[in-house]
Copies of this chain bind each other. A is one copy, B any other.
Amino acid sequence: MTVTFLEDGHAASPTGWVAATAQCGIKYKGRDDLALLVSAEPCSAAAIFTTNKVKAAPVRYDMELVRRSPASLRAVVINAGNANACTGPDGDAAALAMAQAVESALALPADSVFVMSTGTIGVPMPIAKVLNGIAAAATTLAPNHGIAVARAIMTTDTRPKYCAARVVLPSGHTITIGGMTKGAGMIHPNMATLLATVTSDVAVNPACLDVALRAAANLSFNSISIDGDTSTNDTLLVLANGTANNPQIEDLASPDGQAFLEGLTAVCQHLAKAVVRDGEGATRFVTITVRGATDNADAKQAAMTIAKSPLVKTALYGADPNWGRVLCALGYSGAEIDPDKVLLSFGGMRVLEGGMPLPFDEKTASDLLNVPEITIDADLGLGDGIATVWTCDFSENYIKINAEYRT
């Protein structure tokens, strides 16, 4: 294993990275709500954006930016409390103003700053407050603010989410990959209401970084589900500044490329799982593995359908090994299944085999599930396809939070 997680590692752990926060007062009182991450050198960049047809102003800005400047990004600025979505031409101007304020304050070239926003939709961005915050943050950049930035981007999150890992490349160089994310509700494949920034000091060209990010996202942020809704602002960004001085990775199939991909995937998985653990009202973290599918895509479709089912999620909240609801979800998932070949386990205990339930003690089963971390394993008995996804249960608190919170 070449990947080692750092204790208290964060997005400013890789070399050449500094961070800062500020209190703009956009929506939250008495806490920082603006985050700035800055690299000492130009970065290779890759990003994945929401597939929602309604895209926030910063998403539209960034999509164009990363297309135009994939090798010269320097910083990312993120605010919490206002999503700058459904805000019309003023919203586009606000996103541009945020980028330009960072460029101006830090004497960076044009088109070098990525912008993210999260919070309420359809409210004009209080841009003066945000620009004041950017000016303040620009004066306090330091490597030890990597946890503070993870805290500043929170909305309904209950805790900051960050990590960093070290990878020893086969070529001998050591690289570091850090990251932070915010999530909570509306989490689903394709980055729903999720902002994630991954930083690194690896030297890698943008094309290779893009392929690596898509592969890592497929096994992490696109393998989690909280409530199946997707949002206007979701963005996963990776920036790599090359200060580790490894021979630049230009082929992901090379030994160094594979080691980097492994590290990137590990960091993305750590962050994605942190999002699920902090799902709105969640009381249990659920790992669902489907194997024996006709192929990996079918396995993932089946696993995600289980992960999204409100009936499965409420049963898990009730510590109920309700194999019937899981089998039903498999049945309508669209994946190839033969009910007579399905084997199902909850927490390692077999509950269904050959389409029929096995006898089990209800009390033992309920005790087995009445824990914070649960596994569901399904073997479809058809082929070699396998996929693992992560989700959480559905509690009364999910309803309370979402009946009261104005997105």
Measuring CB to CB, which residues of chain A are less than 8 angstroms from any residue of chain B?
Answer: 51-55, 85-88, 120-122, 185-186, 227-232, 308-311, 314-315, 317-318, 320, 322-325, 327-332, 337, 339, 352, 355-357, 394-396, 398-400, 402-404, 406-407
25 example contacts (A-B, Cβ-Cβ < 8 A) are as follows A53-B331, A54-B330, A54-B355, A85-B324, A86-B324, A86-B352, A86-B355, A86-B357, A121-B324, A122-B323, A122-B352, A228-B309, A228-B310, A229-B311, A229-B332, A232-B324, A232-B331, A310-B310, A314-B399, A320-B406, A322-B407, A324-B406, A324-B407, A395-B399, A396-B399
Chain B residues whose CB sits within 8 angstroms of the CB of A314 once the complex forms: 398-399, 402-403
Q: Select from chain B the residue with minimum beta-carbon distance to A402.
A: B314
A399 to B315, CA, bound (A): 9
Of A54, A325, A396, A406, most buried by chain B (CB within 10 Å of CB) is A54
Chain B residues whose CB sits within 8 angstroms of the CB of A331 once the complex forms: 52-54, 230, 232
Is the pair B86, A327 in contact by a Cβ cutoff of 8 Å? yes
A332 to B228, CA, bound (A): 10
Return the contact of A402 from the options B229, B311, B400 (Cβ within 8 A): B311
Q: Select from chain B the residue with minimum beta-carbon distance to A190.
A: B332
Is the pair B394, A399 in contact by a Cβ cutoff of 8 Å? yes
A318 to B87, CA, bound (A): 24
A55 to B340, CA, bound (A): 11
Is the pair A52, B310 in contact by a Cβ cutoff of 8 Å? no
A184 to B201, CA, bound (A): 55
Chain B residues whose CB sits within 8 angstroms of the CB of A120 once the complex forms: 324
Is the pair A325, B355 in contact by a Cβ cutoff of 8 Å? no
Chain B residues whose CB sits within 8 angstroms of the CB of A332 once the complex forms: 51-53, 229-230
Q: Select from chain B the residue with minimum beta-carbon distance to A123.
A: B357
Return the contact of A403 from the options B54, B55, B320, B327 (Cβ within 8 A): B320
Is the pair B87, A356 in contact by a Cβ cutoff of 8 Å? yes
Of A120, A314, A339, most buried by chain B (CB within 10 Å of CB) is A314
Across the A-B interface, the 7 shortest Cβ-Cβ residue pairs: A318-B403, A54-B331, A314-B402, A121-B324, A52-B331, A122-B357, A396-B396
Given known pairs A52-B331, A86-B357, the reply for A227 and B311 (CB within 8 Å) is: yes
List 18 extra interface pairs beyond A88-B355, A230-B331, A325-B407, CB under 8 A: A52-B331, A53-B330, A53-B332, A54-B328, A86-B356, A227-B310, A228-B310, A229-B325, A232-B327, A311-B402, A314-B398, A314-B402, A317-B399, A324-B407, A328-B407, A394-B399, A396-B400, A399-B399
Chain B residues whose CB sits within 8 angstroms of the CB of A318 once the complex forms: 402-404
Chain B residues whose CB sits within 8 angstroms of the CB of A88 once the complex forms: 355-356
Given known pairs A86-B356, A332-B230, the reply for A339 and B53 (CB within 8 Å) is: yes
Chain B residues whose CB sits within 8 angstroms of the CB of A53 once the complex forms: 330-332, 337, 339
Of A310, A352, A396, most buried by chain B (CB within 10 Å of CB) is A310
Return the contact of A310 from the options B54, B86, B229, B327 (Cβ within 8 A): B229
Q: Select from chain B the residue with minimum beta-carbon distance to A316.
A: B403
Nearest chain B CB to A207's CB is how many angstroms away? 28
Chain B residues whose CB sits within 8 angstroms of the CB of A355 once the complex forms: 54, 86, 88
Return the contact of A399 from the options B86, B308, B398 (Cβ within 8 A): B398
A231 to B395, CA, bound (A): 22
A322 to B406, CA, bound (A): 7
